[in-house]
Amino acid sequence: MSQLRSKLDALIAQTDLDVSDKQRELLVGYVAMLDKWNKAYNLTSVRDPQDMLVKHILDSIIVSTHLQGERFIDVGTGPGLPGIPLAIMCPDKEFFLLDSLGKRIRFIKQALHELKIENVTPIQSRVEEFQPEEKFDAVLSRAFASMVDMVNWCHHLPKQGTGLFLALKGLLPQDEIEQLPDWCSVTDVKALNVPELEGDRHLVILSRKE
């Protein structure tokens, strides 16, 4: 654990992020649990916990400064990415983590229990079947194959008028942007600097045209 903590501290030092001791402990604790469960349940293709810090933790928390609002849903969250790291970074915001696979939701529930994270609600459902009573300030995803699929499958989730889609992408997908439906447009693109991660990362912010 101390090796992971040292690595995490070194990565965070290369960003402008403000991360408390407690938050760092929770992030390392989450990686340790993900590593342990991964051996049995195959939750992520990233096998090395040190790599998980770069590819999963930093890649998620780098987005924390771009979250506007209080209520977020992470669709296709897998083992809780980017939702759990973001919930650790933003304890005053509420996160709903949606995935259709039971083993992933079981892991998330166990992680929330062991790490005592209270601002996350796990949901086992297919995204198109999930009908929330209250809509979301933003829909987050880093797992969707394309932004076109994301906005089409999640169109019922953002708040009317103000809700956003936040897509975590690698290279800026110009072809996907051109294929977006007429009711949706890109309002901003943030280039993300993730320490020690090879390749580009972008946050694409989309909104519904009124």
Residue keyed to tokens 């989730």: 157
Distance (Å, rounded) from C-alpha 112 to C-alpha 194? Answer: 25
76 is in an annotated binding site: yes
Residues forming beta bridges with residue 203, ordered by sequence position: 168, 190
Question: Which H helix or E strand runs over 192?
Answer: strand 184-192
Distance (Å, rounded) from C-alpha 189 to C-alpha 15? Answer: 19
Question: Which H helix or E strand runs over 43?
Answer: none
Q: 189: how many CB neighbours lie within 10 A of its CB?
A: 14
142 is in an annotated binding site: yes
Amino acid at 181: P
Distance (Å, rounded) from C-alpha 161 to C-alpha 146? Answer: 23
Distance (Å, rounded) from C-alpha 71 to C-alpha 134? Answer: 9
128 is in an annotated binding site: yes
80 is in an annotated binding site: no
127 is in an annotated binding site: yes
Per the annotation, binding residues for S-adenosyl-L-methionine are: 76, 81, 127-128, 142
Per the annotation, binding residues are: 76, 81, 127-128, 142
